């Protein structure tokens, strides 16, 4: 539960009094400044550089990171909020709270910021009122729109958003190109000067978008608290010339290309977020996206248990030397359940094979099959009974349309039967209708004590704070592409993901295979796919990537007698603290995460081998026992291990193989000696 352990919200001032003449601007600067003074977001009622419309700008430590950029909304009927607008009043407050959040990268989250609300009114008929809300945190800034209920305007129809993001000269971008608004949000990233990114035709930039600002630090553009609204994309603004100016674009409603958002008033937009840090490491540690979401809506979260799951779709239901035909049948499910029980894997997932769902019928298109019954040969109730007898729980994958058709009846049955959770897939949209459906599905899952994961979906926007049964999203080109993509998932791609997609929240990556190969030996294959990299690299992903329901996706016999399996099974899936120790886009990621009194460190390198030094200054005072798992290609399982006593003053050194990795477990010595 998102329990507030300390909360203090101050209303600071009413800057514009009722006596200010209509149409006049308040005296002084309208701005929100972060508690430590580093971040400042400024509102200007009319800015010549934006065509006379309201604008905002963001500075970090006194340097511009977002130049004056337009604010506004295009409404149905040709109207545009933002033109000829006057400030009526400005209110501000300070938020200072801490709350408990599990699962996550940090169990105790601090939420401290300055908020400014600017109330605006059109100077011409129909004189609509609207608001701009600014927030400044120590690690970023955010802006959103509010549309109050008012006489003469009770319904909102937004055609598109007119907000722009103007980046400084020299900004270097890491961006996700997506074609159109129907997308899995899975592609390789572009790395180039922001001013050279083009979005021709239907091409858009998906969020997050990472930028290095020369001489200043790092800026990521994200979205937070996507609620009853259309998903956000960026596109290069027409006429930007050599400037890096991007316009906000909203996913249109299905069948209504001229409408993105339709709602009764009051209503509000998601936050447009600017995550900031002097180093890339600080962005990885941030909880800003969570803080911009509503507190936990669940009175009891004790039933939410993150953990690892098998997922035989990834390996193509491959297995060797078994007395049954692997596939969508009871024998295969029981075989995986036995593997889970023996290996300490808490969950097994029922999914699909060859475009046939476990509940029967084609996966795509969904043709109406009942999600409370298994396909012929797969006895769902028997599988659930057997899993319970072995101390394993079952998760059920399904097409989103199957959930939409049956969840009101099926989810209560799942709770009665002891199903742990569900995965929804193939949404491939984030228009307002889909956003509404997903919220309803997550709420319905929570009502029935089901955790939920999402594939074929856009990046998270922090809803896991409000509904912590939402464990992870996909929205990333991941190891499933090793089944069919000739290039495969390269070490460089994997080392872009923590600094782009993962900034938005937990991610699912089809992890688990310990059958890694060097890049030159990789070939795509649908059954028993290969992955690029060492076993230690795969183990490291369970620490580097924030994922509260990671997969153990390979076939059971591939793990048999592998020294990495018991280590993999022991890595936690939720954390009490997170420190990013090294971050180089496409080259290196080293992340330390604490679970209870133990720290785990994962290191992932690029295509070239490299030496790393890992100072342990994040440890508390006292003695620790370090168990280090290193690349050792010549040894059984491709790995070696060693133990040593360390303190916060120690440094662990290692050689990472090409596409290699490192895993360290740090336990208090008093505990390790028991």
**CB of 491 within 8 A of CB of 533?**
yes
CA–CA distance, 221 with 239 (Å, rounded to integer): 21
Cα-to-chain-centroid distance, residue 309: 19
- 2 has pLDDT over 80: no
The whole-number pLDDT of residue 450 equals 98
- 166 has pLDDT over 60: yes
Could you read off the pLDDT of 186-219 as tens digits, one per residue? 999 999 999 999 999 999 999 999 999 999 999 9
Span 4-291 CATH architecture? Distorted Sandwich (2.70)
The whole-number pLDDT of residue 25 equals 44
CA–CA distance, 172 with 177 (Å, rounded to integer): 15
CA–CA distance, 29 with 422 (Å, rounded to integer): 50
CA–CA distance, 58 with 439 (Å, rounded to integer): 31
Nearest 10 degrees: Cα torsion 100, 101, 104, 110: -60
Span 309-475 CATH architecture? Alpha-Beta Barrel (3.20)
φ and ψ of 271, to 5 deg: -80, 140
Beta strands in 150-214 (DSSP E): 155-161, 164-167, 172-179, 190-193, 203-213
**CB of 597 within 8 A of CB of 483?**
no
CA–CA distance, 354 with 375 (Å, rounded to integer): 13
Asked whether this chain's domains 4-291 and 309-475 adopt the same fold, the reply is: no
- 329 has pLDDT over 80: yes
The whole-number pLDDT of residue 12 equals 41
State how far the alpha carbon of 46 is from the alpha carbons of 87, 419, 634, 649, in Å: 10, 56, 67, 54
Mean pLDDT is lowest, of 15-24, 148-157, 344-353, for: 15-24
- 607 has pLDDT over 60: yes
Asked if the bond preceding 104 is cis, omega within 30° of 0, the reply is no
The whole-number pLDDT of residue 83 equals 86
**CB of 328 within 8 A of CB of 377?**
yes
The whole-number pLDDT of residue 171 equals 98
CA–CA distance, 663 with 150 (Å, rounded to integer): 58
**pLDDT average, residue stretch 362-384:** 97
Radius of gyration of the chain (CA): 25
Band of residue 325 on the pLDDT scale cut at 50, 70, 90? very high
- 15 has pLDDT over 70: no
Q: Domain residue spans in the chain?
A: 4-291, 309-475, 534-674
Mean pLDDT is lowest, of 14-28, 400-414, 561-575, 586-600, for: 14-28
Residue with tokens 């009114």: 121
- 644 has pLDDT over 80: yes
CATH of 534-674 given 2.60.40.1180, 3.90.550.10, 2.70.170.10, 2.40.110.10: 2.60.40.1180
The whole-number pLDDT of residue 571 equals 98
**CB of 400 within 8 A of CB of 407?**
no
Could you read off the pLDDT of 276-313 as tens digits, one per residue? 999 999 999 999 999 999 999 999 999 999 999 999 99
The whole-number pLDDT of residue 459 equals 98
The whole-number pLDDT of residue 20 equals 32
**pLDDT average, residue stretch 109-135:** 96
The whole-number pLDDT of residue 51 equals 54
- 176 has pLDDT over 50: yes
User: How do the residues of the chain divide into helix, strand and coil, expressed in percent and rounded to 5?
Assistant: 20, 40, 40
The whole-number pLDDT of residue 1 equals 54
CA–CA distance, 205 with 289 (Å, rounded to integer): 19
**pTM for the structure as a whole:** 0.95
- 136 has pLDDT over 80: yes
Return the percentage of the chain with pLDDT > 90, whole number: 92
- 253 has pLDDT over 70: yes
Asked if the bond preceding 286 is cis, omega within 30° of 0, the reply is no
**CB of 461 within 8 A of CB of 95?**
no
**Mean pLDDT estimate for the chain:** 94
């Amino acid at each position: 539960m998102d329990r507030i352990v300390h909360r203090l919200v101050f209303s600071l001032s009413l800057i514009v009094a009722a006596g200010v003449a209509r149409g006049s601007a308040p005296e002084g600067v309208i701005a929100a400044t972060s508690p430590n003074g580093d971040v400042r977001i400024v509102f200007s009622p009319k800015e010549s550089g934006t065509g006379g419309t309201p604008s905002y700008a963001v500075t970090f430590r006194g340097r511009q990171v977002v130049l004056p950029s337009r604010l506004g909304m295009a409404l149905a009927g040709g109207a545009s909020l933002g033109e000829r607008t006057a400030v009526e009043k400005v209110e501000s407050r300070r938020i200072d709270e801490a709350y408990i959040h599990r699962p996550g990268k940090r169990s105790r989250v601090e939420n401290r910021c300055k908020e400014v609300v600017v109330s605006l009114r059109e100077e011409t008929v129909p004189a609509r009122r609207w608001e701009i809300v600014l927030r400044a945190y120590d690690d970023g800034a955010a802006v959103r729109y509010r549309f109050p209920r008012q006489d003469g305007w009770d319904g909102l129809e937004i055609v598109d958003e007119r907000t722009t993001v103007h980046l400084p000269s020299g900004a270097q971008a890491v961006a996700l190109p997506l074609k159109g608004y129907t997308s899995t949000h899975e592609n390789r990233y572009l790395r180039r000067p922001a001013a050279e990114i083009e979005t021709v035709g239907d091409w858009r930039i998906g969020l997050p978008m990472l930028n290095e600002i020369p001489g200043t630090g790092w800026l990521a553009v994200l979205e937070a608290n996507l609620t009853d609204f259309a998903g956000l994309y960026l596109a290069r603004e027409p006429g930007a010339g050599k400037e890096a100016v991007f316009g906000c674009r909203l996913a249109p409603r299905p069948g209504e290309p001229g409408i993105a958002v339709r709602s009764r008033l009051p209503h509000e937009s998601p936050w447009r977020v600017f995550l900031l840090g002097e180093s890339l490491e600080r962005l990885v540690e941030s909880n800003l996206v969570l803080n911009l979401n509503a507190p936990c809506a669940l009175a009891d979260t004790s039933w939410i248990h993150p953990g690892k799951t098998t997922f035989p779709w990834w390996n193509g239901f491959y297995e060797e030397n078994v007395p049954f035909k692997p596939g969508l049948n009871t024998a295969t499910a029981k075989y995986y359940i036995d593997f889970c029980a023996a290996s300490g894997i808490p969950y097994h997932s029922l999914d699909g094979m060859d475009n046939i769902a476990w509940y029967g019928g084609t996966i795509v298109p969904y043709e109406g099959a009942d999600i409370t019954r298994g396909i012929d040969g797969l006895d769902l109730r028997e599988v659930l009974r057997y899993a319970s007898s072995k101390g394993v729980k079952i998760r059920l994958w399904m097409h989103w349309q199957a959930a939409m058709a049956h969840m009101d009846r099926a989810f209560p049955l799942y709770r009665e039967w002891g199903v742990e959770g569900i995965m929804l897939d193939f949404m491939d949209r984030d228009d307002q209708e889909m956003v509404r459906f997903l919220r309803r599905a997550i709420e319905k899952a929570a009502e029935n004590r089901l955790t939920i994961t999402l594939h074929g979906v856009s990046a998270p926007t922090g809803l896991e704070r409000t509904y912590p049964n939402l464990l992870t999203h996909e929205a990333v080109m991941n190891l499933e592409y090793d089944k069919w993509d000739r290039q495969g998932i390269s070490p460089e791609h994997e080392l872009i993901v923590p600094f782009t997609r993962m900034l938005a929240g937990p991610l699912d990556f089809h992890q688990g295979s310990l059958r890694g190969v060097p890049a030159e030996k990789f070939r795509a294959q649908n059954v028993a796919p290969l992955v690029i990299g060492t076993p230690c690299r795969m183990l490291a992903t369970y620490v580097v990537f924030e994922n509260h329901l990671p997969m153990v996706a390979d076939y059971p016999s591939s793990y048999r007698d592998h020294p990495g399996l018991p280590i993999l099974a022991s890595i936690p899936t939720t954390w009490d603290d997170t420190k990013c120790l090294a971050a180089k886009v496409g080259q290196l990621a080293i992340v330390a995460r604490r679970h209870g009194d133990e720290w785990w460190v994962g290191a992932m390198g690029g295509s070239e081998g490299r030496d790393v030094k890992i100072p342990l200054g994040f440890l508390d005072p006292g003695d620790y026992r370090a168990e280090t798992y290193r690349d050792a290609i010549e040894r059984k399982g491709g790995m070696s291990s060693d133990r040593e006593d360390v303190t916060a003053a120690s440094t662990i050194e290692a050689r990472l193989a090409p596409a290699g990795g490192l895993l360290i477990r740090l336990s208090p010595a008093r505990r390790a000696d028991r």
